[in-house]
Amino acid sequence: MSVLVQRQLFGGAITADATPNLIDASDVRQVPDTQEVFMYPDSSISIVVEILQRAEPSHYDDAIRFHFDSLAHDNDAQSAEIDAVSQVPNERGDGTPSATILSGVQSVKKFNRAIPDKVRIFMALYRVDSKRIDVVVTFNVPTKAIDGGAVNAEGLQKANADFDEFVRSFRIVDFGLFA
């Protein structure tokens, strides 16, 4: 297991444990105020934490599928397949909602290339019902990429472990963020 550090997201209103060598995308490009984006320095893996208006589906499994399908649409994915949906309960008693998690794969053509990249998607949904907000965490893990940013089986396993730690440690510290 790798050493993790607590990341302060959205000015500290949310925290989560992550690998310490992540690059904050806002240091290299513009990131919307509703997102936190991090990149792995040694691959094309990215992490996106996004605050969204609550999706229409009321059942959590349907809601995370909606967000996965929305991501596939936004990525112009040629295909999108969901492997599993499950729950990660929060038993800390800190008010952070339990997470609904999803694992899937999307085939995405990047930069108008003819051959699509194969991207493993690890997604978590934290539904803040009282504020009508969905907080979505997405790990985009290329397993086949033309640009050489893909990870091998070991890299995929590490990304999955990093996702698991991130999701289990995810804590909403200040619900005023969603005012």
Please enumerate, as own/partner, the contacts of 35-41 that have beta carbons within 8 Å and a separation of 24 or more.
Answer: 36/9, 36/10, 38/7, 40/159
Span 96-150, pLDDT tens digits: 999 999 999 999 987 777 889 999 999 999 999 999 999 999 999 999 988 788 9
CATH number of the structural domain spanning residue 166: 3.40.1000.10
Instruction: Tell me if 170 sits within 8 A of 137, measured CB to CB.
Output: yes
Domain extent, residue 127, equals: 5-178
- DSSP H or E segment with residue 48: strand 46-53
Structural domains of the chain, count? 1
Alpha carbons 150 and 169: distance in angstroms, whole number:
26
